[in-house]
Chains A and B, each alone.
Chain A
Amino acid sequence: MAKLEDTTKFNPRLGKKELALLSRLCDAVSVSGDEQEVRAIVLEELRDYANVTKVDAMGNVLVRREGKDADRVRVMVAAHMDEVGFMIVNDEGDGVFEFCVIGGIDPRQLAGKPVWIGREHVPGVIGAKAIHLTTPEERTQALKEDQLRIDIGPGGAGKVKVGDRGTFATKLAVLGPSIRSKALDDRLGVYNLIQLVKNAPENVDLLAAFTVQEELGLRGAKIAAFAFDPEVGIAMDSTPANDLPNYDGFENTSHNTKLGGGPAIYLMDGATLGDRRLIQWLVNTAEAEKIPWQFRQPGMGGTDAGSIHKTRAGVPSVSVSVPQRYLHSPAGLIRIDDELNTLKLIHSALTRLDRSILNLQENN
């Protein structure tokens, strides 16, 4: 039987043990389509906690953690294991490789960055011509992936092959109240989901989906949701904070989220209109538990909720994200408080979840 933590006194903290797990997750190379490294960590962490664990056809890890109460709601909580990065597409010899970008990376982020390639994290660099040799005109243009190469040096030959994935080579660092890492999107979600399974409330059946290929179009979540057939869907992700002051002094009206403002609850993105009942449930929970929270400004983009809510005959769904500056770059930045409050909010909300929330259709 699965181990039980004392779930009534769940108060998330980021101690040494927790930080070590988060660092392992964030420093893994787990680009869409090859999520093996994070998958292995998830399976290892949850071995003793799940009622049923399954790796499905696409590589999603589906963990079922059953509660004890009668009339439990089946809640799917999703966090994606993949991250944006690179794929090696051609070996040009001498340790020089052509590559392509997997997922959304601004080409201006590429040139001159150290990278890790493959499951062995072979170190390399995305090379660019030195400033000594460029013209002022060249320096106004962002170099695109086909103008750039990944260089691991001749010594690395044989360790890297076509099809290998790579990421920026940034190790997680704690900067006072903040954390800096390359893959907070969505290792924070993965970390939080691991903690939720370990501390699962007994009034719900927690259907934890550690999904693949989110960055390529919410692909893993689609089949995960079909398999789980949940009654409620929650996606845990990370969303940009564009919260620095405007250069012209006008009020910043498009910050998306603000660092330090607490978990960001979604109303609308490009893939989902958040279920109004669930939004209210999260807001009520945050208010009651005195957890700071914010709405993510309605906008574009998408989370796994975009796939979950359209599954079978429909699943009321909502997303919650940890606000992050500099998303999809070599170094994103989050506040530790936002991360812990996100975990606390979802956990508290789950403990209050019962089917009556879903009976409010005509009044929402």
Chain B
Amino acid sequence: MAKKYNTLWTNVQTLVETPGPSGSEHIIRKKIRAEIEGFADEVRTDALGNLIARKGALKEGGKRIMISAHIDEIGLMVTHVDENGFARFMPIGGINPMTCTGGRVLFMNGTRGVIGIERLGKDEQPVPAKFYIDTGATSKADSKIGVGDVCGFDRPFLDLGKRLVAKSMDDRIAAAIAMEALKEVKRGVNELYFVFSVQEEVGLRGAITAAYGVDPEVGLAVDVTRTGDTPMGVKMEVALGSGPAIKVRDSSFIADPRVVNWMVAEAKAQKLPYQMEVLEAGGTDGAAIQRTRAGVPAGCLSIPCRYIHSPSEMVDRDDVENAVKLLVGLLEKPVCLE
């Protein structure tokens, strides 16, 4: 009997509800592998844990393209469990302390807990050292977690119709988009390497080694980007629902202008809505790919996302579906960089 595969949106829900902070991507990697193996020509895991799937082989006029979507998420690592069972932690990646209080967490070993905070003095800022996780343990001996245990935020997927919310849209939405593109894309002249990268949130580390191993001629990260469409928020052109964003720059790299032009031309050809993204602060795997070996023309396909690095990251349904179309179109044809 043929294996039944998930649709894009079932994949999104599965991925966002799977815990997998940087360095602990083994569960999510296994789930993605099971979904994509039937569509790729070759699937491997590298030394750092990047899942690398090849589809197609290089033909005349084609290029070796690396597509990178990171499968890790921000999380917490336990540093100490005290005599009363409270666990102190260290952030993995950019945790915003404002979103911690009252948050719920899910450990890789299945233990759940809530985040509490010490009493703060007047004008005192909530820094990570002030927080603790309460797993319901009454003593150190009774605690189901210890130093080194890792957790992510624990929130169910929320479907608001046109808008979708989850704790790790960054960057599971991109992983789902890359999985869908991998399934849909027809083998052409290009050799496609879909990289589901690890440790992005702690410094693009997985993409650094994956890009060295793949040695691509063109690189495309798929990641979320901030928006400027919320009340009294940052001023920025990108808005939810206005189409996938084509990155021009962020604080980690300047996208190769030829890659930007290639992406814009494809969006226009398909008559897809798109927006140009100039992001003040933030980085993506594109930066790591660009500086690999002797250099690689690289860019980034961004999914507009509100409330990034909070337990409730929001994306737009149409943006996601249009991103899949744009990505498939880019990868199927010979690449024109000029």
Contacts of B5 in A (CB 8 A): none
Distance of A360 from chain B, by nearest CB (Å): 10
B22–A273 CB distance below 8 A: yes
Q: Does B94 contact A (CB under 8 A)?
A: no
Question: Assuming A310-B205, A314-B209, A362-B26, is B77 touching A251 (CB within 8 A)?
Answer: no
Q: A312-B209, A364-B26 are in contact. Are A251 and B49 (CB under 8 A)?
A: no
Is B145 engaged at the interface, CB distance under 8 Å to the other chain? no
Closest residue of chain A to B77 (Cβ to Cβ) is A298
Point out the residues of chain A lying under 8 angstroms from B83, CB to CB: 251
In the complex, B141 has a CB within 8 A of chain A:
no
Q: Which of A267, A273, A311, A361 contacts B147 (CB 8 A)?
A: A267
CB < 8 Å neighbour of B213 from A251, A253, A279, A314: A314
The reply to whether B213 and A313 form a contact with Cβ atoms under 8 Å apart is: yes
* Pair A309/B48 contact, Cβ less than 8 Å: yes
B129 in the interface, Cβ–Cβ < 8 Å?
yes
Give A111-168 interface residues, CB cut-off 8 Å to B.
none
Q: Is the CB of A314 within 8 A of B46?
A: yes
Residue pair A361, B26 in contact (C-beta under 8 Å): yes
Chain A residue at smallest Cβ distance from B199: A273
Quick one: which of B80, B90, B147, B205 contacts A309, CB cutoff 8 A?
B205
Output the nearest chain A residue to B129 by Cβ-Cβ distance: A254
A363 vs B45: C-alpha distance when bound (angstroms): 13
Residue contact A313 to B46, C-beta cutoff 8 Å = yes
Within 8 A of A (CB), among B81-138: 82-83, 88-90, 92, 129
Tell which of A253, A254, A276, A310 touches B208, judged by Cβ atoms closer than 8 Å. Answer: A310
Task: Tell me whether B54 is interfacial, beta carbon within 8 Å.
Answer: no
* Nearest opposing residue in chain A for B214, CB measure: A313
B79 touching A297 by the CB < 8 A rule? yes
A97 lies within 8 A of chain B by Cβ: no
Report the Cα distance A315→B26, complex, angstroms. 17
Is the pair A299, B79 in contact by a Cβ cutoff of 8 Å? yes
Q: Does B63 contact A (CB under 8 A)?
A: no
- How far is it, in angstroms, between the C-alpha of A274 and the C-alpha of B49 when the chains are bound? 12
B contact residues around A75 at 8 Å (CB): none
Majority secondary structure, B binding face: mixed
Q: Given A276, A314, A358, which contacts B23 in the complex, CB threshold below 8 Å?
A: A276
Chain A window 29-43, contacts with chain B (Cβ cutoff 8 Å), 1 for yes, 0 for no: 000000000000000
Q: Are A313 and B77 in contact (CB under 8 A)?
A: no
Chain A residues whose C-beta falls within 8 Å of the C-beta of B47 in the assembled complex: 231, 313-316, 358
Cα of A312 to Cα of B213 in the assembled complex, Å = 7
Contact with A along B186-209 (1 / 0, CB 8 A): 000000000000010010011011
Closest A residue to B288 by beta carbon equals A310
Least CB distance, A93 to chain B, in whole angstroms: 46
Give the chain B neighbours of A310 by CB distance below 8 A: 205, 208-209
* Contact between A254 and B79, CB atoms less than 8 A apart: yes
Query: Taking the nearest CB of chain B, how far is it from the CB of A229, in angstroms?
Result: 11
Q: Are A314 and B148 in contact, CB atoms less than 8 angstroms apart?
A: no
**Which residues of chain A are near B212, meaning CB under 8 Å?**
312-314
Contact-size category for B: 20 to 34
Q: Which residues of A contact B78 (CB under 8 A)?
A: 298
Closest to B211 in A: A313
Residues in B with CB closer than 8 Å to A295 are 147-148
**Which residue of chain A has its CB nearest to the CB of B50?**
A314
Q: Interface residues of A toward B: which range?
A: 20 to 34
Q: Which of A222-238 contact B (CB under 8 A)?
A: 231
Within 8 A of B (CB), among A291-327: 295, 297-299, 309-316
A298 near B147: Cβ-Cβ < 8 Å: yes
Within 8 Å of chain B (Cβ to Cβ): is A268? yes
Question: Is B162 interfacial (CB-CB < 8 Å)?
Answer: no
Residues of B within 8 A of A274 (CB): 23
Beyond A299-B79, A309-B48, whether A254 also contacts B88 by CB under 8 A is yes
Provided the pairs A310-B208, A315-B47 are in contact, do residues A254 and B80 lie with their beta carbons within 8 angstroms? yes
Q: How far is the CA of A251 from the CA of B140 in the complex (A)?
A: 12
Closest residue on chain B to residue A361 by CB atoms: B45
Using CB atoms, name the residue of chain A closest to B208: A310
**How many whole Å from A270's CB to the nearest CB in chain B?**
9
Q: Does B29 contact A (CB under 8 A)?
A: yes
A214 to B238, CA, bound (A): 41
Chain A positions 340-363 with a Cβ under 8 Å from a chain B Cβ: 358, 361-363
Residue of B nearest to A283 (CB): B148
Task: Name the residue on A nearest B30 (C-beta).
Answer: A362
Which residues of B lie under 8 Å from residue A297 when comparing CB positions? 79-80, 90, 147
> Do A267 and B77 touch (CB < 8 A)?
yes
* Bound Cα distance from A74 to B298, whole angstroms: 33
**Chain B 39-72 near chain A by CB (<8 Å), digits 1 or 0:** 0000001111110000000000000000000000
Contact status A316-B23, CB under 8 Å: no
Instruction: Let me know if A253 and B26 touch, CB within 8 A.
Output: no
- Which chain B residue lies CB-closest to A312? B212
Q: Is the CB of B90 within 8 A of A268?
A: yes
B residues 242-276 in Cβ contact with A at 8 Å: none
Contact: B77 with A268, CB < 8 Å? Answer: yes
- Chain A residue, CB-CB nearest to B202: A273
Please provide the 7 A-B residue pairs with the shortest distance between their CB atoms, ordered closest to farther. A314-B209, A273-B23, A313-B213, A314-B47, A314-B48, A298-B90, A267-B148
Known: A313-B210, A362-B45. 4 other contacts (CB 8 A): A253-B79, A276-B24, A297-B90, A298-B78
Q: Which residues of B contact A (CB under 8 A)?
A: 22-24, 26, 29-30, 45-50, 77-80, 82-83, 88-90, 92, 129, 147-148, 199, 202, 205-206, 208-210, 212-213
| Contacts A/B (CB < 8 Å), 19 sampled | A251-B82, A253-B88, A273-B92, A274-B23, A297-B79, A297-B80, A309-B48, A309-B209, A310-B208, A312-B212, A313-B209, A313-B210, A313-B213, A314-B50, A316-B48, A362-B30, A362-B45, A363-B26, A364-B26
